[in-house]
Amino acid sequence: MVRVRFAPSPTGNLHIGGGRTALFNWLYAQAKDGKFILRIEDTDKLRSKQEYVDEILNSLQWMGFNWDEIYYQSHRFNIYAEFAQKLLKEGKAYTEKSPERQGEAIIFKVMPQQVKINDLIRGEIEFNAELIKDQVLIKSDGTPTYNFACVVDDATTDITHVIRGDDHISNTPKQALLYEALGFKLPKFAHLPLIMGIEGGRLSKRTGATAISDYRKMGYLPGALVNYLLLLSWAPGNNCELIDINEAIKLFDLSDVNKAAATFDLKKLNWLNNQYLKNEDSDKLTDEIIPMLIEKNYIRKDNFDRNYIVSLVKLFQPRMSVVNDFPDWADFFFVDELNIDPAAAEKYLNKDLSREFKLLLERLKVLQSFDIVSIEESFRGLVSELGIEAKALIHPLRVALTGKTIGPGLFEAMYYLGSERICKRLGKFIR
């Protein structure tokens, strides 16, 4: 059975690179009907924190990567010590006293040889062990080193495939030597290409190296983010970019992963998130949006019209890049005093529109039914009567009512604003 593992270190939050590694491990396990193992590499007592463990676990669950087993390296020190002693007894390691601390380090003897690895993504990779110095297995304070703990854990938890970023390639020959010395079967390796920023160079905070939990807070949907991470080094073919995860499971294989570095493009992620938002259940989106509206004091926690908010969500849904767009874009539905963009006012409200606005209000007041169709008919009739182009009045009207130059359809916005607020807002521009 295929058994893969994702092994984050809780010295920080789970970022985009780690998220993609977790995805490819989880996806391969699903594709091969295998097991996805989570290993928390918390041997660094000073830097490892429970808050990072919680963030990593929550982020993985949010993305849908449920694990079959979980291990904590901090609970396995006795296992590492046991295998280090085994190498000592067999003469494959030696001890060395630390001049700074009490205790002895256990160090592995590296023997000169050629190490060959058949990487499932990169093909055969060869290393010269003469260039590798003797490796510390257990530090003088009793903690295991990364490479040693990694090998012991992978072997004792029956990991069959090690799928990780290619920044770990330099660790592979050191680990292969330890596998051989301990008599363990070597797993299959697959090293994923790096993720680069849009301007080249390694991913930075400016170019997208943000925590998965931050993307969640910014209003990205888990399906969209997972879809985008999947496109970073893999594609289902036929230029398809919107990929259902269940379809991806059927198609995914490590041999199809691209060797070249992937480029993280925030604009592409925003486009993809918009596609997912268009198809998201409006009630579900409303559940996410209501706490944002309460926080901004747009609605009261115990007194609001949920159906009205669902209607507004549907109005903005096709346009939103992230869920968090809604409170900013729809603010004019929730405030009494409208904040009009100065540039928009300068461009579209720089002349007296008293006559036009007054005539429109008169038409709206006598409508038998205040609905979207009737509002539009009133407007079209007025501009025809005045002999002006519709856009000559649409843009000023939008700015006067919403404070913005862009937004949902004007007549839909007018309907949900209601005649009373329209009268109040346009009244300020009638001299």
Let me know the angle formed at the C-alpha of 410 by 390 and 310, rounded to the nearest 5 degrees. Answer: 165
In whole angstroms, give the CA distance from residue 394 to residue 419.
Answer: 17
Average pLDDT, the chain: 93
The residues that bridge with 6 in the sheet, in sequence order, are 38
Helix (H) or strand (E) holding 313: helix 306-316
Kindly give the parts of the chain with pLDDT less than 70.
Answer: 204-209
pLDDT tens-digit map of 315-333:
999 999 999 999 999 999 9
Query: Going by CATH, does the domain composed of 76-192 fall within 3.20.20.70?
Result: no
What's the pLDDT score for residue 208? 65
Q: Which residues contact 211 (CB under 8 A, 6 or more apart)?
A: 13, 14, 15, 55, 59
In whole angstroms, give the CA distance from residue 205 to residue 215.
Answer: 12
Question: 282: closest CA among 250, 249, 315?
Answer: 315
pLDDT tens-digit map of 35-88:
999 999 999 988 999 999 999 999 999 999 999 999 999 999 999 999 999 999
Question: 163: closest CA among 38, 254, 259?
Answer: 254
What's the pLDDT score for residue 199? 73
What's the pLDDT score for residue 206? 62
Angle between helices 77-89 and 146-156 (to 10 degrees): 100
Query: Going by CATH, does the domain composed of 342-427 fall within 2.130.10.10?
Result: no
3-72+194-274 and 76-192 share one CATH topology?
Answer: yes
The residues that bridge with 144 in the sheet, in sequence order, are 138
Four-point Cα dihedral 347, 352, 355, 358, nearest 10:
70
Q: Which one-letter amino acid corresponds to residue 339?
A: N
What's the pLDDT score for residue 45? 86
Where along the chain do its domains lie? 3-72+194-274, 76-192, 281-325, 342-427
Question: What is 372-425 written as a DSSP string?
Answer: HHHHHHHHHHHHHHHT--HHHHHHHHHHHHHSSS--S-HHHHHHHH-HHHHHHH
Superfamily of domain 3-72+194-274: HUPs (3.40.50.620)
Tokens of 367: 């409508």
* Under 8 Å between Cβ of 324 and 277: no
* CA atoms within 13 A of residue 147's CA, in its CB half-sphere: 18
What's the pLDDT score for residue 87? 97
* Under 8 Å between Cβ of 159 and 5: yes
Taking the model in full, what pTM does it have? 0.91
Q: Which residues of 395-407 are buried (b: 16+ CB within 10 A; e: fewer)?
A: bbbbbbbbbbeeb
Q: Which residues contact 153 (CB under 8 A, 6 or more apart)?
A: 5, 7, 39, 71, 73, 76, 159
What's the pLDDT score for residue 99? 72
pLDDT tens-digit map of 343-379:
999 999 999 989 999 999 999 999 999 999 999 999 9
